[in-house]
Amino acid sequence: MIRTLMAMIATLAVTAPALRADPKDDIQAAVQKLADSPSYSWSSSVSGGMGRGTQEGKTEKDGYTTVTLQLRDTSFDIALKGVKAVVKTDSGWKTTSEVMSDEGSDNAGGPPGPEFFAAIIARNFKTPVQQALDNIDALSNIQKTDDGYSADLSEDAIKAMVARPRPRAAATTNPDAAATSMPSPNISNASGSVKIALSNGNLTQIVVHVTATITINGNDRDIDRTTTTTFKDVGSTTVDVPDDAKAKLAS
């Protein structure tokens, strides 16, 4: 009898923390575990709304990150380390400031080219794991699913996701001015959800679905966008960065 009672107490001692566990803590732990891994790769695809396309990335902890992204019909490579970013152009690797300055000189009075947009993305780039960590507190109504969790996203988080930078009608020779003087669209009817897939406590996939209405210069555009990001090769990813890109990042 005493042994049975002791066994029951021991079982409760082990299971009680799990019963009390906050699902947000489970999500936080899984995302942080991936962020703390030596390296990993990811693939993202976007369907619907603005920003559709694909993204392939590799990153190493406290090291380099490389990303290949598709903008319309053009593919771009970017490399990052810390807060610095460079873009591969037709004339070689350039810093984001160099790309934006070149666009201002070459396209004065006209619309900026794709490299200008690539530079904006590179300058503001965050890995999907960084974005997930930033939005943990934006999750609500978290529900357990067969392979992880589902949750609603806050309105502010959705607005930040869909409010992509928009350059002025003409690029400028002052890249900082170009980045800060873009018109801010009005975003309404924002709603969204996220599905987080886990395997043995490891983050394997994030699917984000957002809808909103963006109003720019009096024109409305409805957004219905789904972003699916899959993580792979955790701990075994190798990030290869060309020497000229490293030199630009070190300058």
Contact of 79 with 93, CB cutoff 8 Å: yes
* The total number of residues written for the chain in this structure: 251
- How many alpha carbons lie under 13 Å from residue 94 in its C-beta half-sphere? 18
Taking the chain (251 residues) in runs of 10, the rounded mean pLDDT of each run is: 49 48 91 97 86 86 95 87 94 92 60 83 94 95 96 93 57 45 74 95 96 87 93 97 95 84
- d(CA 217, CA 213) in angstroms, rounded, equals 13
Give the gyration radius of the chain's Cα atoms.
Answer: 22
- d(CA 226, CA 124) in angstroms, rounded, equals 20
Q: Where are the alpha helices (DSSP H) in 136-250?
A: 155-162, 175-180, 243-250
Q: Where are the alpha helices (DSSP H) in 61-174?
A: 96-106, 114-123, 128-134, 155-162
- d(CA 114, CA 78) in angstroms, rounded, equals 13
- Rounded to two decimals, the pTM is 0.81
Chain segment 145-202, per-residue pLDDT in tens: 999 999 999 999 998 888 765 443 334 444 444 444 455 678 889 999 999 999 999 9
Q: What is the pLDDT, as a whole number, of residue 177?
A: 47
Q: Provide the token pair at 168.
A: 């002025």
Residue 91 corresponds to which amino acid? S
- Strand blocks (E) in the chain: 39-47, 53-60, 64-71, 74-81, 84-89, 92-95, 139-144, 148-153, 186-199, 202-216, 219-232
- d(CA 60, CA 74) in angstroms, rounded, equals 26
Q: What is the pLDDT, as a whole number, of residue 74?
A: 85
- Order the strands of the 148-153 sheet from edge to edge: 92-95, 84-89, 74-81, 64-71, 53-60, 39-47, 219-232, 202-216, 186-199, 148-153, 139-144
Give the burial class of 56: count Cβ atoms within 10 A of its Cβ; 0-12 exposed, 13-18 middle, 19 or more buried.
middle
What end-to-end distance do the CA atoms of the chain give, in Å? 73
